[in-house]
């Protein structure tokens, strides 16, 4: 008999991370670096959503960045054209992403495997193209100015906001994956037919996975928009999605926490090497391919496993 | 409304461009049919083809533009074969976990790598290869530049050559055997790994050829391959995954739909931008209602 | 709960091929039924259709008095139809214990620790208890067969279809599986067992259904079925099985 032990190591580990994140602004006084860190938390969150959908539910999608854009633009455009208060617009942005996620989830019941990735890559390009083309409404490539959260130029409140969003989102997704949902997601990933024959409502849980992922992309999107105060269609390029997928893969796609840490660390690293220009992305691409080929479970996930003694 | 002349001109243009689309898509479908891998780096093979032709012709001193195409094909053949050996062979050796996901990720990783490598080496500014030939051909209301005609003609020649290769040569037949049943082909004395390598190399070099053929018509930039690769996915899905004939017909069909579809939207800037969306709409409709494509076999 | 599965005029076509053709049978009470037939006779297709992985082309299937042929597989599983697969389909990158948790949690069990206790009991019965936290990936073929059996038991179904439970299993393990089936059967569960292992079928089953080319050609008492001419004819093409058919049970050769 295996009694449920109290997860001491995990609690220590996560407390240390939260403490480190909370104390960091005391050590980092430069507002540029605080901004960089806040952006890194954004990437961490989106990388985690990708891990949630692909690593656990086995659905390979290129759509996350489009869902980020949809939420951001929903909130930004509502601000531009209506007097809706910020909080309501944030809710609307997240809801819109969830709704689109629902539609994609419903479609994906017909698209399996590589077809799903083809479909979502097309979807993401379509979203970018529409935002770009309908410039009279969206300001197109010039970018849409978005109101900020705080009436200050200091980066400190934004830093804490993005950090808080990341921690809370990861915690909520983590709890979901530890519940029976996580069990069913993985069963569907491994073998849909077998899961279904054993009583798992595959349709419902697949769509659930898409909606949850999309809503967290939405969370990342609205907070990105109001933190960055500017949205442009270019951000929705496949290249951005490539970065996010690469971060999740290098971190370890079958481990939510490792994927998120991959996102934070790699984005921070990329910013730190800004002087190298596009060469750092060449290195990133090469690293991605080497990790895929020789460390299929990522670089951070095995470390996490060793540290915690279990997968998640 | 547009007159008949305009529509005829658009149709002729669509036909010509469609041949180039088809050439790229044929490469994608060939790779898929033999390796069962969707090559997400296909657009970047196209882009590298364009750049190779450009540098061969302009920088490395006065090669004839047509020779530039040849060099582009050779370079891509080498690049494709190398990549296949290093990164795709493990899939067929059963040496990677989650092979389907790996195949998408590794080809996508290559696309990310190549795009940024070219961006670093060549910079973000557009480069245009010199013309194959100046002037054009005018028939009635339709004028088509010589570059486009030559490009389309060469694309057709390459596709016919490929079909002959697949039908008539031993290697071609062996490739078809592998595409139909890997294990059966292997026990019949065909080395499936070699066929993978040849198919991936040829597929990549066809993408490179289409990039090189288009380089004098549209300039090349590092992300020039993104839309053509999406379009190739559309064509291959439309024509049926793995069907070379389907890719040829699908390519021309998409060329026509894009050109004529542009006439549906009165605002010219929108018409140009949304041209790409038609393909995507077709893509979704085909996937929903006829996932095996128009010419593919039902699974 | 008493089982009642009624299959009427079931038909499943693939293109022009009738894999299952006009098949009718019923399973009532806690019967232990063998479903046999030469390769390609439609046994697995029958299970797939009854459990919902395939849509029937015609006919009706009702379970516990309700028509189920329009229901998705998971609903049928909830109603008490369980199955294993001919080629094992364990959740490979999940632990053995997690494999067992899926069906229980999916059918409404909410108490996780109670379910874990049940899963551990089943693992103990199947002598897999030392492997609970291993990935299913690392199990041998025979162990996977056992795991599938355990998994379907966790679903707690009333009628269990076992598709080739003895294929590729070590003879010693086979005897073990027999005793599990008997034990579960004694607890009131019904079984339909598809197998080429005639010894096992004739040893375990109270009734045997024989299929050939999608049709039912015999149904009844094992002894009677074995001597039916249609059955012998169907097996003529497969000499080895015919031999088995003739020699099972008493070891005396065919009844005249």
pLDDT in tens, C6-64: 999 999 999 888 899 999 999 998 899 999 988 888 999 999 999 999 999 999 999 99
Comparison of pLDDT for A228 and B59, the residue scoring more: A228
What is the structure's pLDDT at C239?
54
The C-alpha of B108 sits at a distance from chain A's nearest C-alpha, in angstroms, of 8
Comparison of pLDDT for A77 and A2, the residue scoring more: A77
Instruction: Inform me whether the pLDDT recorded for B209 exceeds 80.
Output: yes
Residue A199, chain C, CB below 8 Å: the answer is yes
Question: Do the Cβ atoms of A193 and C152 come within 8 Å?
Answer: no
Lowest mean pLDDT among A202-206, A211-215, C248-252: C248-252
Question: Do the Cβ atoms of B108 and A279 come within 8 Å?
Answer: no
- Helix H, strand E, coil C: the string for C211-250 is EECCEEEEEECHHHHHCCHHHHHHHHCCHHHHHHHHHCCC
What is the enclosing helix (H) or strand (E) of A177? helix A156-178
Q: Please compute the mean of the pLDDT values over residues C133-146 and round it to a whole number.
A: 89
Question: Do the Cβ atoms of B112 and A249 come within 8 Å?
Answer: no
Average model confidence (pLDDT) for chain A? 91
Contact B132, B146 (CB under 8 A): yes
The C-alpha of C231 sits at a distance from chain A's nearest C-alpha, in angstroms, of 31
Q: CA–CA separation, B143 vs B145, rounded Å?
A: 7
Q: What are phi and psi of A145, to 5 degrees?
A: -80, 135
List the single residue in B38, B40, B280 with the smallest CB-CB distance to A126: B280
Instruction: Inform me whether the pLDDT recorded for A2 exceeds 50.
Output: no
What is the structure's pLDDT at A312?
64
pLDDT tens digit sequence for B147-190: 888 899 999 999 999 999 999 999 999 999 999 988 899 888 89
Q: Please compute the mean of the pLDDT values over residues A263-267 and round it to a whole number.
A: 95
Can you tell me which residue has the tokens 């024989």?
C210
Tell me if residue A190 falls in helix, strand or coil: helix
Contact A100, A214 (CB under 8 A): yes
Q: How far is CA C193 from CA C86, C212, C215, in A?
A: 11, 16, 17
Residue A61: CB atoms within 10 A of its CB come to 30
Instruction: Inform me whether the pLDDT recorded for A234 exceeds 60.
Output: yes
Residue A239, chain C, CB below 8 Å: the answer is no
Residue A201, chain C, CB below 8 Å: the answer is yes
To test the contact with chain A by mutation, choose from B79, B88, B105, B225 the residue with the greatest count of A C-beta atoms within 10 A, namely B105
What is the structure's pLDDT at C242?
58
What is the structure's pLDDT at A311?
64
List the single residue in A186, A189, A199 with the smallest CB-CB distance to C155: A199
Residue C77, chain A, CB below 8 Å: the answer is yes
Q: At C255, is the pLDDT very low, low, confident or very high (cuts 50, 70, 90)? A: very low
Can you tell me which residue has the tokens 């890719």?
B247
Question: Do the Cβ atoms of C106 and A1 come within 8 Å?
Answer: no
Instruction: Inform me whether the pLDDT recorded for C251 exceeds 60.
Output: no
Buried b (16+ CB within 10 A) or exposed e, B153-184: ebbeebbeebeeebeeeebbebbbbbbeebee
What is the structure's pLDDT at B299?
40
Contact A90, A227 (CB under 8 A): no
Contact B225, B11 (CB under 8 A): no
Q: CA–CA separation, A226 vs A234, rounded Å?
A: 17
Residue of chain C whose Cα is closest to the Cα of A187? C91
Give the pair of three-digit tokens for residue C190: 């019904």
Contact A307, A12 (CB under 8 A): no
Instruction: Inform me whether the pLDDT recorded for C249 exceeds 50.
Output: no
Instruction: Inform me whether the pLDDT recorded for A1 exceeds 50.
Output: no
List the single residue in A119, A249, A279 with the smallest CB-CB distance to B284: A119
Size of interface A-B (CB pairs under 8 A): 115
Q: At B49, is the pLDDT very low, low, confident or very high (cuts 50, 70, 90)? A: very high
Question: Do the Cβ atoms of C90 and A197 come within 8 Å?
Answer: no
Buried b (16+ CB within 10 A) or exposed e, C162-171: bbbbbbebee
pLDDT tens digit sequence for A295-305: 988 999 988 88
Q: At A26, is the pLDDT very low, low, confident or very high (cuts 50, 70, 90)? A: confident
CA dihedral C139, C141, C144, C149 (to 10 degrees): -150
The C-alpha of A188 sits at a distance from chain C's nearest C-alpha, in angstroms, of 9
Give the pair of three-digit tokens for residue C22: 């006009």
Question: Do the Cβ atoms of B116 and A281 come within 8 Å?
Answer: yes
What is the structure's pLDDT at B97?
84
Q: At B297, is the pLDDT very low, low, confident or very high (cuts 50, 70, 90)? A: low
Give the pair of three-digit tokens for residue C177: 């599986």
| Residues of chain C contacting A194 with CB distance shorter than 8 Å | 85, 89-91
Q: Please compute the mean of the pLDDT values over residues B125-147 and round it to a whole number.
A: 79
Question: Do the Cβ atoms of A184 and C105 come within 8 Å?
Answer: yes
Give the residue from B155, B142, B123, B133 showing the smallest Cα distance to B216. B133
Q: Please compute the mean of the pLDDT values over residues A19-44 and round it to a whole number.
A: 91
The C-alpha of C155 sits at a distance from chain A's nearest C-alpha, in angstroms, of 7
Instruction: Inform me whether the pLDDT recorded for A5 exceeds 70.
Output: no
Residue of chain B whose Cα is closest to the Cα of A121? B230
Q: CA–CA separation, B248 vs A95, rounded Å?
A: 42
Instruction: Inform me whether the pLDDT recorded for A222 exceeds 60.
Output: yes
Give the pair of three-digit tokens for residue A163: 């950090």
The C-alpha of C175 sits at a distance from chain A's nearest C-alpha, in angstroms, of 26
Q: CA–CA separation, C106 vs B215, rounded Å?
A: 57
Lowest mean pLDDT among A206-210, A308-312, C192-196: A308-312
Q: Please compute the mean of the pLDDT values over residues B33-57 and round it to a whole number.
A: 93
Half-sphere exposure of C201 (CA within 13 A, CB side): 31
Q: At A51, is the pLDDT very low, low, confident or very high (cuts 50, 70, 90)? A: very high
Q: How many helices (H) and strands (E) does chain A have?
A: 14, 2
What is the structure's pLDDT at C172?
83
List the single residue in C85, C91, C106 with the smallest CB-CB distance to A199: C106
| Residues of chain A contacting C118 with CB distance shorter than 8 Å | none
| Residues of chain A contacting B105 with CB distance shorter than 8 Å | 245, 249, 288, 292
Q: Which chain A residues touch B if contact means CB-CB below 8 Å?
A: 54, 58, 60, 107, 110-111, 113-115, 117-119, 121-123, 125-126, 129-130, 132-133, 237-239, 242, 245-246, 249, 277-279, 281-282, 284-286, 288-289, 292-293, 296-297
| Neighbours, chain C (3 or more CB pairs < 8 A) | A
Q: At C241, is the pLDDT very low, low, confident or very high (cuts 50, 70, 90)? A: low
Give the pair of three-digit tokens for residue A102: 């629902």
- Taking only Cα atoms into account, the Rg of chain B, rounded to an integer number of angstroms, comes to 19
pLDDT tens digit sequence for B224-260: 898 889 899 999 988 888 888 889 899 999 988 888 8
Which of A48-57, C1-10, C115-124, C181-190 has maximum average pLDDT? A48-57
What is the structure's pLDDT at C244?
63
Q: Please compute the mean of the pLDDT values over residues A138-144 and round it to a whole number.
A: 87
Q: What angle do CA A147, A148, A150 make, to 5 degrees?
A: 140
Q: What is the DSSP string of B199-263?
A: HHHHHHHHHHHHHHHHTTTS-B-TTTTHHHHHHHHHHHHHH-TT-HHHHHHHHHHHHHHHHHHGG
- Residues of chain A above pLDDT 70, percent: 97
Give the pair of three-digit tokens for residue B260: 């004529």
What is the structure's pLDDT at C245?
62
Tell me if residue B62 falls in helix, strand or coil: coil
What is the structure's pLDDT at C252?
39
Contact A290, A282 (CB under 8 A): no
């Amino acid at each position: 008999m295996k009694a449920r032990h109290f997860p001491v190591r995990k609690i220590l580990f996560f407390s240390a991370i939260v403490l480190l994140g909370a104390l960091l602004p005391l050590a980092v006084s430069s507002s540029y670096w605080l901004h960089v860190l806040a952006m890194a938390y954004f990437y961490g969150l989106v990388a985690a959503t990708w891990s949630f959908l692909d690593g656990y539910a086995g659905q390979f999608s290129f759509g996350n960045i489009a869902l980020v854009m949809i939420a951001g633009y929903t909130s930004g455009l509502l601000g531009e054209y209506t007097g809706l208060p910020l909080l309501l617009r944030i809710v609307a942005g997240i809801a819109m992403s969830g709704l689109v996620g629902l539609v994609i989830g419903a479609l994906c019941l017909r698209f399996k495997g590589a077809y799903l990735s083809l479909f979502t890559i097309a979807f993401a390009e379509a979203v970018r193209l529409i935002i770009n083309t309908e410039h009279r409404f969206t300001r197109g490539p010039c970018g849409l100015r978005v109101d900020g959260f705080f009436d200050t130029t200091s980066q400190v409140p934004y830093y804490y906001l993005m950090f808080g969003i990341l921690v809370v989102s990861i915690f909520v997704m983590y709890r979901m994956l530890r519940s029976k949902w996580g069990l069913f997601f993985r069963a569907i990933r491994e073998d849909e037919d077998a899961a279904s024959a054993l009583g798992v409502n595959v349709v419902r849980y697949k769509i659930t996975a898409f909606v949850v992922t999309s809503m967290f992309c939405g969370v990342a999107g609205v907070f990105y928009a109001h933190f960055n105060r500017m949205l442009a269609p270019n951000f929705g390029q496949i290249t951005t999605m490539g970065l996010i997928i690469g971060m999740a893969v290098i971190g370890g796609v079958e481990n939510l926490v490792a994927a998120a840490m991959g996102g934070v660390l790699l984005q921070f690293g990329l910013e730190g090497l800004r002087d190298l220009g596009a060469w750092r992305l060449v290195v990133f691409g090469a690293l991605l391919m080497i990790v895929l080929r020789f460390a299929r479970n990522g670089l951070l996930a095995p470390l996490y496993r060793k540290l915690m003694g279990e997968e998640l | 409304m547009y007159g008949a002349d305009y529509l005829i001109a658009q149709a002729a243009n669509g036909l010509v461009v469609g041949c180039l689309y088809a050439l790229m898509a044929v490469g994608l479908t060939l790779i898929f049919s033999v390796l069962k891998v969707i090559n997400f780096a296909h657009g970047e093979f196209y882009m590298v083809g364009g750049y190779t032709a450009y540098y061969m012709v302009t920088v490395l001193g006065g090669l004839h533009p047509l020779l530039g195409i040849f060099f582009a094909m050779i370079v891509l053949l080498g690049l494709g074969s190398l990549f296949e050996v290093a990164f795709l062979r493990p899939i067929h050796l059963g040496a990677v976990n989650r092979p389907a996901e790996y195949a998408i990720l590794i080809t996508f990783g290559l696309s990310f790598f190549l795009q940024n490598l070219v961006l670093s080496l060549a910079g973000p500014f557009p480069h245009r290869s010199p013309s194959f030939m100046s002037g054009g051909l005018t028939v009635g209301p339709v004028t088509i530049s010589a570059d486009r005609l030559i490009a389309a003609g060469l694309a057709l020649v390459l596709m016919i050559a490929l079909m002959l290769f697949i039908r008539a040569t031993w290697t071609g037949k062996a490739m078809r055997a592998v595409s139909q049943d890997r294990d059966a082909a292997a026990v019949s004395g065909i080395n499936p790994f070699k066929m993978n390598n040849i198919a991936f190399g040829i597929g990549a070099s066809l993408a490179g050829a289409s990039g090189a053929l288009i380089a004098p018509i549209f300039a090349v930039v590092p992300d020039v391959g993104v839309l053509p690769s999406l379009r190739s996915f559309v064509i291959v899905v439309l024509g049926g995954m793995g069907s070379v004939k389907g890719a040829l017909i699908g390519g021309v069909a998409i060329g026509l739909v894009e050109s004529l579809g542009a006439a549906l939207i009165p605002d010219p800037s929108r018409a140009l931008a949304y041209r790409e969306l038609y393909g995507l709409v077709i893509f979704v409709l085909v996937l929903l209602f006829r996932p095996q494509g128009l010419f593919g076999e039902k699974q | 709960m008493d089982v009642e599965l009624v299959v009427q005029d079931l038909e499943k076509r693939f293109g022009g091929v009738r894999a299952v053709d006009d098949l009718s049978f019923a399973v009532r009470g806690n019967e232990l039924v063998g479903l046999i037939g030469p390769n390609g006779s439609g046994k697995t297709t029958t299970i797939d259709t009854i459990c919902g992985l395939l849509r029937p082309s015609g006919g009706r299937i009702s379970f516990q008095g309700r028509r189920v042929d329009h229901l998705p597989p998971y609903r049928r599983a909830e109603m008490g139809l369980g199955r294993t697969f001919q080629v094992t389909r364990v959740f490979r990158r999940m632990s053995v214990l997690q494999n067992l948790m899926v069906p229980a949690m999916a059918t409404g069990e909410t108490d996780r620790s109670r379910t874990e206790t049940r899963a551990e009991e089943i693992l103990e019965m199947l002598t897999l208890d030392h492997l609970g936290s291993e990935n299913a990936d690392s199990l041998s073929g025979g162990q996977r067969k056992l795991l599938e059996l355990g998994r379907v038991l966790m679903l707690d179904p009333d009628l269990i279809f076992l598709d080739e439970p003895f294929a590729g299993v070590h003879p010693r393990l086979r005897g073990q599986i027999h005793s599990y089936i008997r034990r579960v059967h004694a607890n009131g569960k019904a079984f339909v067992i598809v197998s080429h292992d005639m010894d096992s079928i004739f040893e375990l089953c109270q009734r045997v259904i024989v299929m050939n080319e999608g049709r039912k050609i015999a149904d009844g008492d094992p002894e009677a079925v074995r001597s039916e001419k249609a059955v012998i004819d169907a097996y003529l093409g497969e000499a080895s099985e015919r031999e088995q058919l003739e020699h099972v049970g008493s070891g005396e050769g065919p009844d005249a």
